[in-house]
Amino acid sequence: MNFDVAEYVFGLLKEGSEHIGFLSTVDYEGNPDVVALSFFRHEQTLVCGTDKMFNHSRNLENSDKVSVAFFSGVTISGKAEITGSVISDENKSLRDEYRNVMPRNWENYKDVNGQIFLCIKIESAKVWRYISSIPYQAKCDFITGKQTVSQYNSSESTEKS
């Protein structure tokens, strides 16, 4: 089966659009912490504006590894980092993109002290798709370029580099 996971993922997560996803981090006790957030994609990075005091922001002190699940069936994994204040000049390009893509969020939070950019470098993606009524799981490692497509409950898989 010929299926380009990266093309599919980036087609769903179009640049210049807002995407609602569920960010999963790990708290200081090792428990998962999940929160719904609005993201936009900038090249190979997911970006959201959030508060530095929220649990999911503070959880990054324990582990920078995160996942974001979208209603489309795409799950992104990667490393997150806080890049600073949404109003600082060092983040002008992200701030401008945030303001254009998510104007309501910008208006609600632009003057709130502690608003930061959380950036997630996309390292891998997992996609569930039905093709001819057959469920498939496709995975892509964006670092190595390796892709695997497997039929659900089947040992058959194809790999593509």
Q: From 2.130.10.10, 2.60.40.60, 2.30.110.10, 3.40.718.10, which CATH number describes the 5-125 domain? A: 2.30.110.10
The predicted-structure confidence for 27-56, as pLDDT tens digits, reads as follows 989 899 999 999 999 889 999 888 888 888
Between 109 and 43, the more confident residue is 43
Rounded Cα distance, 126 and 6, in Å: 10
d(CA 138, CA 6): 10
- Tens digit of pLDDT for each residue in 110-143? 777 778 888 999 999 999 877 778 888 889 999 9
Assign 159 a pLDDT band (cuts: 50, 70, 90).
Answer: low
Q: Quick one: which of 119, 132, 150 has its CA closest to 40? A: 119
Per-residue model confidence as pLDDT tens digits over 51-101: 888 888 889 988 999 999 999 889 999 999 988 777 777 778 888 888 888
Q: CA–CA separation, 52 vs 75, rounded Å?
A: 24
pLDDT of res. 155: 52
